[in-house]
Amino acid sequence: PAAPSAPAMLAPAAAPATPAPPPALDANGQVRPIYLTPPQTLSGTGPVIGIDLGTTNSCVALLSNGRPIVLRSREGYNTIPSVISLNAQNKLLVSHRAKNQLVLRPTHTIYGAKRLVGRPYDSAVVKQVRERFHYEITPDAAGRAAVRLGNDVLSLEEVQGIILRECKEMAETHLNQKVERAVVTVPAYYSEPQREAVRKAGTMAGLKVERILNEPTSAALAYGLNRELNKKVLVYDLGGGTFDATILRIEKNVFEVLGTGGDIFLGGIDFDNLIVDFLLERFQEKEGIAFSGDGIALSRVGDAAERAKMALSERNTFEVHIPMLMMDDGGRPRDLRVMMSRQDLEKICDPLLNRTIDVVRDVLLDSKLRAADVDDIILVGGMSRMPLVREKLKGLFGKNAQASVNADEAVALGAALYSGSVDKVSSVVLIDVLPMTIGVAMPGGGFKRVIERNSPLPAQRSFAISTSQDNEERMELSIFQGEDNHISANEYLGTVRVEGLPKGPKGSVRVAVTLKLDSECVLHVEAREYSTRKEVKATLATRYSPEELQKQLQVSKEAMSAAEERRGADLKDRAGRFWGFVKKALGRGK
């Protein structure tokens, strides 16, 4: 069955509270941690563990006598829910105990943080997501997305850090020694700020992140390391919250990514929501009244939708029965009883699965390959167990997917395998690619592409800029990542400040700016003045608010709105009517 994804559970509408001021920041511009105490120093020695930090579930593995093994949680499971919660006694719960609070205390339970980490609160993506989660998403003092838990505001890095700490403690219990190092995996389609956020989360948890590894590359390691292969493989990774498609060339222990694509807002959660739509429509047809239950009732439907999805991966029919779902106007209880078939499920899921196949076709084009050139297909993520996924891939490639890789554990096992090469010269070579184009903002909001997506890493590109005023001693360049022609629909990475320029008339001073990406997709910036060839100070540290950027780059509000709407329309489009019920249950609209 498909792996469990956190159900969409919601609280009944409550009276709007007076918003608390944004939390104070520390000296590094970060929200002060509430539950984690980052260590002053990390030794950088000792065992290295592999962690698959998932949207809905996480998995931890390590090398034991040269073989990777997955660790069991204290409850005996091979994966742990990526959920944290505050119980009625204000005690922090993590993993399975936290997930059990979803129905009881939905507004005090945080899941799906992976979708929001490293994003500005005012970004189009966060705006679209805010009304979909039952817990409160709020800005911190620097304008980044954060979450409210009880009376505190937590950074999303801390939420991720709490889950990483749980993984760390599982490893320490197993090894009976301190663990301070990890290889952590992220979606291939993660942006540069999101990767940096994972590093910060690791530090908060007391882990030195030795390497950020892309999930599909990690799964390919689990499949092909030390197998003396010479193959081109597709990794199709459809998890609880994200989708990645990556094609790699494996030659012995050289793993070269030829192309990657994905959607960080397409996963099991989204399929569950469409099934909720279907169930509530059937309820209305059968009972003759529209669903008008509260958030708790809606969460019960979400839970049933997830169970139906999992069951129908193995059988042809499944009865969904929720007794006393709601009371009608006459005070009579109404049940939801629907017999679902696999055919119903496949009809519901078909549009979203077609999106994944479109991404696979694009990745084939980017890799300059035909479907027939792909030797093997590796399925990763619980949602990939759905029979329709295998059918659609067989239709495109004419062959069955590999069955040798565990869909839930492959990513963590690959990270553990890679951890064995951290401290020594290894025969393992990983050649990854840039998932999304990086470029600079132009006056008016245009996006000048500098390093194109699917460029092999490490990569660097240089370009020239000239002073625009007499005796200009410093210049600024704003860096963005994405594929849109307008900066507003792309991800803001930061602003480079170039200082210490020689004085001269407007246009006479030219600077060569070099953007460098290392093998883990971390961005570095260098600048050199042309006439003296001297390096000048260039720092990618400044972060402006959307309003400040709009003013500096003279971007019209209309252009910004149009670009944001383009980015947000797709999320609205795929949401179905489910979020109409959510808004009603939360009192956010009719």
Query: Domains in the chain, please, with CATH?
Result: 48-225+411-429 (3.30.420.40), 438-555 (2.60.34.10)
Is residue 215 flagged as an active site residue?
A: yes
Is residue 52 flagged as an active site residue?
A: yes
Active site residue: 140, 180, 196, 215, which one? 215
Is residue 309 flagged as an active site residue?
A: no
Give the pLDDT band (50/70/90) at residue 290. Answer: confident
Q: Alpha-carbon distance 124 to 488, whole Å?
A: 8
> Are the beta carbons of 552 and 535 closer than 8 angstroms?
no
Instruction: List the single range of 54-58, 367-371, 494-498 with lowest mean pLDDT.
Output: 494-498
> Are the beta carbons of 391 and 350 closer than 8 angstroms?
no
| Contacts of 131 by beta carbon, 8 Å cutoff, 6+ apart | 579, 582, 583, 586, 588
Phi and psi at residue 399, to the nearest 5°: -150, 160
Where do the H-state alpha helices sit in 88-141?
Answer: 96-99, 101-104, 124-130
Matching residue, tokens 């120093």: 41
Active site residue: 114, 168, 200, 208, which one? 114
> Are the beta carbons of 13 and 397 closer than 8 angstroms?
no
Structure tokens at 264: 């960080």
Q: Alpha-carbon distance 87 to 539, whole Å?
A: 43
Task: Centre a 10 Å sphere on the Cβ of residue 500 and count the other Cβ atoms it contains.
Answer: 13
Phi and psi at residue 50, to the nearest 5°: -110, 130
**pLDDT value for 115:** 82
Higher pLDDT, 522 or 6: 522
pLDDT at 575 over 60: no
Phi and psi at residue 153, to the nearest 5°: -110, 125
Q: In this predicted model, what pLDDT tens digit does every residue of 458-515 receive, in sequence order?
A: 999 998 888 888 888 888 888 998 888 888 878 888 888 888 888 889 888 888 889 9
Mean pLDDT of 114-127: 79
pLDDT at 71 over 60: yes
Q: Are strands 208-214 and 317-327 parallel, antiparallel or unpaired?
A: unpaired
pTM, two decimals, is: 0.84
**pLDDT value for 357:** 95
**pLDDT value for 568:** 60
Q: Alpha-carbon distance 54 to 60, whole Å?
A: 11
Mean pLDDT of 256-274: 88
Mean pLDDT of 149-174: 93
Instruction: List the single range of 127-131, 321-325, 356-360 with lowest mean pLDDT.
Output: 127-131
Q: Alpha-carbon distance 221 to 449, whole Å?
A: 32
**pLDDT value for 546:** 66
| Contacts of 332 by beta carbon, 8 Å cutoff, 6+ apart | none
Q: In this predicted model, what pLDDT tens digit does every residue of 16-53 receive, in sequence order?
A: 444 555 555 665 666 788 898 888 888 778 899 999 99
Q: Alpha-carbon distance 99 to 56, whole Å?
A: 10
Where do the H-state alpha helices sit in 312-399?
Answer: 342-366, 387-397
Instruction: List the single range of 183-187, 261-265, 355-359 with lowest mean pLDDT.
Output: 261-265
Give the pLDDT band (50/70/90) at residue 264. Answer: confident
**pLDDT value for 24:** 58
Structure tokens at 325: 């779902």
Active site residue: 157, 237, 272, 303, which one? 237
Averaged pLDDT of the chain: 84
DSSP 15: P
Is residue 172 flagged as an active site residue?
A: no
